[in-house]
Amino acid sequence: MGKPWDACSIFFILSGKRGRMHPELDQEDCSSCGNCVEICPGEVYQWIGERPEAVDAEECTECGACEEQCPVHAITMVDD
């Protein structure tokens, strides 16, 4: 069985969003649902108080799962 983010990686390759990227989390738009904390294979997100924050962007696998699973579109994958 492949890694859980394989399908996401394929999406980013096919969509042209390939290269060194990292997530940006807009705290103003964030609903604190926690999807990003749960889905991230690199453990980029952690709970800080009652809100998730991207605390370790260096561990990002560029899979895009956090961006895809954010119900309020508060996460954007951006080029370094």
Three-state DSSP at 27 gives coil
For residue 6, tell me if it sits in a domain: no
Q: Calculate ∠ Cα 13-43-69, nearest 5°.
A: 55
* Averaged pLDDT for residues 13-23: 67
Q: Which domain holds residue 33?
A: 21-79
| 35 within 8 A of 71, measured Cβ to Cβ | yes
Band (27; pLDDT cuts 50, 70, 90): very high
Examine residue 67 and state whether it is found in any structural domain, yes or no.
Answer: yes
Asked whether residue 46 is domain-assigned, the answer is yes
Structural domains of the chain, count: 1
Residue 34 covered by a domain: yes
User: Mean pLDDT over residues 47-54, rounded?
Assistant: 94
| CATH number for the domain harbouring residue 64 | 3.30.70.20
Residue 67 confidence (pLDDT) above 60: yes
Q: Would 61 be classed as within a structural domain?
A: yes
The answer to whether residues 21 and 78 touch, using CB atoms and an 8 Å cutoff, is: yes
Average pLDDT over residues 11-36: 81
The pTM (predicted TM-score) of the whole model is 0.73
φ, ψ of residue 21 in degrees (nearest 5): -125, 165
Query: Does residue 29 register a pLDDT over 70?
Result: yes
- Average per-residue pLDDT for the chain: 84
